[in-house]
């Protein structure tokens, strides 16, 4: 991916982070999911007093896109309030694996905009997918 596009997606993820609802962890996360058609879907984490219903930023972006009829994705960028690069949690990796190609770039950034790009397949090797359901 071109560096200009990576930085644009990190900036959009940072804008999404501003909308985070994170009164319990005080840890805001933002995601920017790009479709093959060139649309950007933004998501933030949405926490809950009961804790377990909390939705991560990545899944918020993904569910917004899928519920709009999008099925083809090109890249995702994630950023947070943290000093460390943020990578998707295990649940979000599984959700990404449902819809995104194994070679899709996952842009992991920190609050300063430093980043690394990892292929989805390296974050969730041997993902359980629809193909596994067919082979029985
Ligand atoms: N969180 C995300 O939104 N994405 C991640 O990849 C990791 C964690 C959120 C969930 C919760 O609201 C807060 O960060 C602390 O775990």
Atom of ligand 1 nearest to the CA of 57: 3
Q: Indicate whether residue 92 lines ligand 1 (CB < 6 A).
A: yes
pTM to 2 decimal places: 0.97
**pLDDT, tens digit (0-9, with 9 covering 90-100), for 53-80:** 999 999 999 999 999 999 999 999 999 9
Per-residue confidence (pLDDT) for residue 135, from 0 to 100: 80
pLDDT digits (tens, 9 = 90+) for 86-121: 999 999 999 999 999 999 999 999 999 999 999 999
In the CATH hierarchy, which fold is given to the domain comprising 3-133? Cytidine Deaminase; domain 2 (3.40.140)
- CA–centroid distance, residue 57 to ligand 1 (Å): 7
Query: 89 in ligand 1 pocket by Cβ < 6 Å?
Result: yes
Transcribe 70-131 into DSSP letters: ---EEEEEEEESSSSPP---HHHHHHHHHHS-TT-EEEEE-TTS-EEEEEHHHHSTT---HH
């Amino acid at each position: 991916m071109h560096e200009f596009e990576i930085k644009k997606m990190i900036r959009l993820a940072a804008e999404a982070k501003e909308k985070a609802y994170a009164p319990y962890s005080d840890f805001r996360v933002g995601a920017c999911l790009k479709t093959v058609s060139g649309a950007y879907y933004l998501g933030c984490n949405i926490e809950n007093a009961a804790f377990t219903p909390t939705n991560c930023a990545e899944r918020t972006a993904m569910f917004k896109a899928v519920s709009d009829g999008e099925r083809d994705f090109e890249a995702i960028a994630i950023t947070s309030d943290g000093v460390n690069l943020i990578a998707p949690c295990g649940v979000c990796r599984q959700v990404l694996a449902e819809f995104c190609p194994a070679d899709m770039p996952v842009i992991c950034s920190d609050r300063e905009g430093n980043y690394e790009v990892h292929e989805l397949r390296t974050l969730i090797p041997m993902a359980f997918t629809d193909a596994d359901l067919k082979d029985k």
